[in-house]
């Protein structure tokens, strides 16, 4: 049926690689169980064929692969282009470096960016008409698979989904062109595709009236039986190629790793990231991959500092970026990391903490690690009407790199409340780090302070901040404060930070 054993190919499966005899026996037993279940399903007339769910498309055995850059629906016309990898251009076997790309016309800019980033060139200027069809088969088991020609495909559709067969026949009549790419979205399976090159004269498709003239009852009438006979004839099909389909559209990419994709992603949120140092550098990429800047909403990065060799060990930027502004360099790096249209802008200036700028954003992220910035942000947003106030997310490394701490300020508490918590803080310092000699661990010079620790803590802080930003999309926050201790101390559980009566920010004592 296929060319690999899915029982041991599945990456999540656990089997003993040191006991091949036992593994073969286990696989044999599983195959028997699958066959028994499939036969029982066929006898009982159950349409879902649960034993084959997810397997059907695995045995499509494609000869080519197409990347689908658009989120498609039926009756929307796409086009497919064939590109060649720059390293394969001019070689005798250039087909080995071919890449097929399908997309809607409105996604032309993403197609061009895809070509640029993957160093592709068009093989020629010919495009294939590409159409998408939903298939809801009455059964999966008991059919010859994969189909070897167009006749087999039509026969399969006749057996399992007459409605889909009718739509595909109509497609050929309405589009009497030589080359077609057909995308089949089989219910509970992955997308599969076909490339069909027709002999138009042999099929007789050009003898049917155009769609606009059919109501006038002029010309030949399209009959299913005649169409099937014509399309099934050997001389009607010049080429038949099975295609594997890989979704690369925005919706698929941004929702792939979301536990609850229904709540959306960050593409609808106007976001400001203040600070593009160690934490901000890692966080920016995580936010982009969660949708920030990938829609109509802006994603702005603020940092007035430049990137230098001393920053290399704890940053995502490279040697090529030495001397460049951190915000601008990260923005350029983010844009060059994806073919999706990104509204990411690096601003080589400090973030002006005033209501006029703050109201332009839905989420403002403080990755500076500087308490004065956090306190000022918390104070100024409380002077704004609640309807125009952005949510604040603060993240910082504490204890000279011994802890990652993240706070969500949704108006119920603030950064000042954290420092005013008498259970853990005294004079604005975490009492768990009271024994640390900060002066001993820090290198201080005029205008510069450096604390040596590796990037692990910053990566953790950035990850926690990504979680915090994504949690603001939820109807209700499950926590407003979270921490992770790296020195062996016990981390406090994520919690809703209480508003402190002694917090000067929340009680407007400034």
Torsion-angle region of 23 (φ positive above 0: left; ψ -120 to 50: alpha; else: beta): alpha
Strands 128-135 and 78-85: antiparallel
Identified catalytic residue from 276, 446, 503, 506 = 446
Among the listed residues 6, 80, 230, 413, the single catalytic one is 6
DSSP element (H, E) containing 273: strand 271-274
| Residue 230 bears catalytic tag | no
User: Nearest to residue 116, comparing CAs of 388, 298, 300, 339?
Assistant: 339
3-state secondary structure 82-98: EEEECCCCCCCCHHHHE
Please state, in angstroms and as integers, the Cα–Cα distance from residue 20 to each residue in 8, 13, 29, following that order.
11, 15, 14
Mapped onto helix, strand or coil, the DSSP state of residue 181 is: strand
Closest CA to 139 of 78, 23, 50: 50
First to last CA, the chain: 75
The three-class DSSP label of residue 238 is strand
Q: Are strands 299-302 and 425-426 parallel, antiparallel or unpaired?
A: unpaired
Check whether the bond before 68 is cis (ω within 30° of 0): no
User: Residue 78 is encoded by which pair of tokens?
Assistant: 């796409």
Quick one: CA dihedral 490, 491, 494, 496, positive or negative?
positive
Q: Are strands 179-186 and 128-135 parallel, antiparallel or unpaired?
A: parallel
294: annotated active-site residue: no
Q: Which of the 8 DSSP states describes residue 113?
A: H
Q: Write phi, then psi, for 173 (nearest 5 degrees).
A: -65, -40
Catalytic residues: 6, 446
């Amino acid at each position: 049926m296929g060319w690999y054993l899915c029982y041991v190919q599945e990456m999540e499966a656990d089997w003993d690689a040191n006991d091949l005899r036992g593994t073969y026996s286990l696989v044999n037993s599983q195959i028997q169980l699958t066959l028994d279940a499939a036969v029982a399903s066929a006898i009982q007339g159950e349409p879902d064929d649960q034993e084959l769910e997810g397997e059907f498309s695995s045995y499509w055995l494609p000869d080519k692969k197409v990347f689908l850059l658009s989120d498609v629906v039926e009756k929307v016309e796409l086009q497919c282009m064939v590109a060649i990898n720059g390293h394969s251009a001019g070689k005798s076997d250039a087909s080995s470096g071919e890449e097929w790309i399908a997309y809607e016309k409105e996604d032309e800019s993403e197609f061009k960016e895809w070509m640029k980033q993957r160093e592709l060139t068009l093989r020629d200027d010919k495009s294939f008409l590409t159409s998408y069809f939903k298939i809801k088969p009455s059964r999966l088991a008991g059919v010859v698979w994969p189909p070897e020609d167009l006749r087999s495909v039509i026969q399969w559709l006749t057996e399992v989904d007459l409605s889909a067969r009718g739509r595909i026949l109509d497609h050929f009549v309405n589009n009497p062109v030589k080359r077609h790419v057909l995308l089949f979205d089989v219910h509970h399976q992955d997308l599969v595709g076909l490339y069909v090159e027709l002999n138009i004269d042999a099929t007789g498709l050009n003898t049917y009236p155009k769609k606009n003239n059919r109501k006038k009852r002029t010309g030949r009438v399209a009959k299913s039986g005649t169409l099937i006979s014509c399309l099934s004839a050997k001389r009607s099909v010049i080429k038949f190629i099975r295609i594997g389909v890989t979704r690369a559209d925005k919706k698929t990419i941004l929702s792939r790793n979301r536990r609850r994709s229904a709540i959306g992603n960050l593409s609808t949120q106007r976001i400001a990231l203040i600070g593009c140092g160690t934490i901000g550098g890692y966080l920016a990429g995580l936010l982009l991959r969660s949708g920030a800047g990938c829609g109509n909403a802006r994603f702005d990065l603020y940092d007035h500092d430049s990137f230098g060799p001393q920053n290399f060990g704890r940053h995502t930027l490279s040697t090529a970026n030495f001397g460049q502004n951190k915000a601008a360099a990260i923005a350029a790096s983010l844009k060059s990391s994806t073919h999706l249209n990104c509204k990411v802008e690096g601003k080589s200036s400090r973030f002006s903490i005033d209501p006029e700028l703050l109201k332009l954003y839905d989420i403002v992220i403080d990755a500076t690690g500087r308490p004065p910035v956090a306190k000022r942000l918390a104070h100024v947003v409380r002077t704004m009407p609640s309807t125009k106030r952005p949510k604040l997310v603060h993240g910082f490394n504490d204890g000279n790199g011994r802890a990652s701490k993240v706070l969500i300020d949704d108006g119920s508490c603030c950064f000042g409340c954290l420092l005013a918590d008498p259970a853990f803080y005294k004079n604005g310092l975490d009492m768990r780090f009271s024994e640390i000699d900060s002066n001993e661990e820090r290198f201080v010079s005029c205008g510069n302070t450096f604390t040596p620790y590796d990037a692990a803590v910053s990566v953790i802080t950035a990850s926690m901040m990504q979680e915090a930003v994504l949690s603001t999309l939820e109807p209700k926050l499950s926590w407003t404060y979270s921490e992770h201790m790296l020195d062996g101390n016990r981390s406090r559980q994520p919690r809703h930070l209480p508003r402190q009566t002694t917090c000067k920010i929340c009680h407007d004592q400034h």
